[in-house]
Amino acid sequence: MVDFGIVGCGHIAKKHVQALEEITDARLVAVCDNDLQRTVPFVQKHGARSYEIYKDFLEDPEVEAVIICTPSGLHAAMGEKAAHAGKHILLEKPFVLDLNEGKNLVELCKSKGVKLGVVHPNRAKAVVQALGKAVNGGWFDKITHASAMLRWNRVPEYFNIAAWRGTRELDGGILFNQAIHNIDLLNWLLGPVDEVFAYGATQLHNIEYEDVCVCTLKLKSGALGIIEAAVTLYPENLEESIAIFGSQGTAVLGGKSLSKILEWKFSCLTEAEAKCQIERLNNGLDAAGHKEVIGDFVKAITQNLEPLVSGKEALKVLYLVKAIYQSISTNQPVKVTTD
Ligand SMILES: NC(=O)c1ccc[n+]([C@@H]2O[C@H](COP(=O)([O-])OP(=O)(O)OC[C@H]3O[C@@H](n4cnc5c(N)ncnc54)[C@H](O)[C@@H]3O)[C@@H](O)[C@H]2O)c1
């Protein structure tokens, strides 16, 4: 049994609590929020101890692992404090907004002997796992190009509901907040990326960062790629998709939240085999993946394994995001470096 504490009792914390309830060898013992009112439902419904001060929460000896669900710009500093307190750390995405802070946290967790995981639930989805198998199994043969699309709607209230949203300092930008999952998948499946060229624009929202971004990629493999991220779609979310094209395969995963196989054609599969795989995968539950991520983190702690997405692994997508932002600000192609 691993005893968890959650800091930041807002929107996403609810998913973590639900996941913890469904995992037999994990339980919620404490919650923390600097707005104490927000902890009330967690105390009433789940019997967790509540804290207003993060330092006091970290001193709770029963808390073995901390799930950090606070605004993104606070992740690094709060992670550092948790590591010093000897707690295992599962950080919501984006891992951090500053690469150096991320690198320091990875090193600190290593030296303190605590696990550091980052929540990228899309990687745990069955359709994505199947796509990973197809890529790693060479089903596409030569991969020619790929795309990741996030075409979502965010109403002004989404940004107005909390002061941190839409800010550079605490929210980061569309590539950190909304599109990080899709960029991570493209990079994880097909990376590393060699060079990027991108444009960003604030088209509709009254926020500090871009609400539309388009980016072209040259992958080290020679394949080309496109990322499109927008939170301006009328009148509702349209799609979250990833497509990979090769000389012997075509795969498109999509739906509003990347949950379905739309195209699945490979020369190594008969039509009947492909149809059977599509039916099996598309009839599975459209799980958000938080349960799988936490279940995996419990295993990482109890069996001394690397988490599904470790801090070190999560840094990889941040190098790419940094290069894309650099391209937007300089209006130049930018090489993706990892130092
Ligand atoms: N993995 C996903 O699919 C996913 C989805 C949504 C959000 N997120 C991430 O989760 C994080 C939180 O997002 P959210 O939508 O839940 O935000 P939210 O605003 O609903 O909740 C954040 C909570 O943190 C609390 N908080 C702020 N500063 C604090 C501090 N210093 N100490 C303690 N508590 C503090 C706030 O009072 C609030 O209750 C963000 O990093 C976001 O990117 C991930």
Q: Are β-strands 116-118 and 88-91 bridged in parallel, bridged antiparallel, or unpaired?
A: parallel
Q: Check pocket membership of 64 for ligand 1, CB cut-off 6 A.
A: no
Q: By C-alpha distance, which of 28, 30, 22 is closest to 2?
A: 28
User: What is the pLDDT of the chain when averaged over all its residues?
Assistant: 97
Cα–Cα distance between 117 and 26 in angstroms, integer?
Answer: 16
Domains, in order of start, for the chain? 2-118+290-307 (3.40.50.720), 123-285 (3.30.360.10)
Cα within 13 Å of Cα(224), Cβ side = 4
Q: Distance between CA atoms of 211 and 251, rounded to whole angstroms?
A: 27
What sign has the CA pseudo-torsion 79, 82, 87, 90?
negative
Which 8-state DSSP code applies to residue 257?
A: T
Cα separation, 319 vs 188, in Å, equals 12
Rounded Cα distance between 272 and 264, Å, is 11
For residue 309, report the phi and psi dihedrals to the nearest 5 degrees: -125, 100
Angle between helices 126-136 and 180-190 (to 10 degrees): 30
Q: What is the 3-state secondary structure (H, E, C) of 8-53?
A: CCCHHHHHHHHHHHHCCCEEEEEEECCCHHHHHHHHHHHCCEEECC
Report the nearest atom of ligand 1 relative to the CA of 165: 19
Q: 7 CB under 6 A from ligand 1?
A: yes
Supply the pLDDT for residue 139. Answer: 98
Number of residues assigned to the chain: 339
How far is it, in rounded angstroms, from Cα 132 to Cα 170? 32
CB of 333 closer than 6 angstroms to any ligand 1 atom: no
Kindly give the distance from the C-alpha atom of residue 122 to the centroid of ligand 1, in angstroms, as a whole number.
18
Task: Determine if ligand 1 sits within 6 Å of the CB of residue 10.
Answer: yes
Helix (H) or strand (E) holding 215: strand 212-219
Cα 93 to middle of ligand 1, angstroms: 10
- pLDDT value at residue 286: 57
User: What pLDDT shows up at residue 285?
Assistant: 62
Please tell me the distance from the alpha carbon of residue 263 to that of residue 231, in angstroms, as a whole number: 25
Q: What is the pLDDT of residues 87-109, one digit of tens each?
A: 999 999 999 999 999 999 999 99
| d(CA 70, ligand 1 centre) in Å | 4
List C-alpha distances in Å: 178 to 33, 94, 151: 23, 9, 10
Q: How far is the CA of 26 from the centre of ligand 1 (A)?
A: 21
Q: Which residues neighbour 75 within 8 Å (Cβ) at sequence distance 6 or greater?
A: 68, 91, 92, 94, 95, 96, 97
Q: Which residue has the tokens 């902890």?
A: 39
Low-confidence ranges of the chain (pLDDT < 70): 285-288
Q: What is the pLDDT of residue 280?
A: 94
Alpha carbons within 13 angstroms on the beta-carbon side of residue 307 total: 28
Instruction: Tell me the three state secondary structure of residue 101.
Output: helix
Q: Ligand 1 atom 30: the closest Cα is on which residue?
A: 34
Give the angle 205-123-125 at the CA atoms, nearest 5°: 100
Report CA-CA distances (Å) from 209 to 133, 177, 179, 300, 317: 36, 11, 13, 36, 19
280 Cβ neighbours under 8 A, 6+ residues apart: none
Question: What pLDDT shows up at residue 284?
Answer: 73
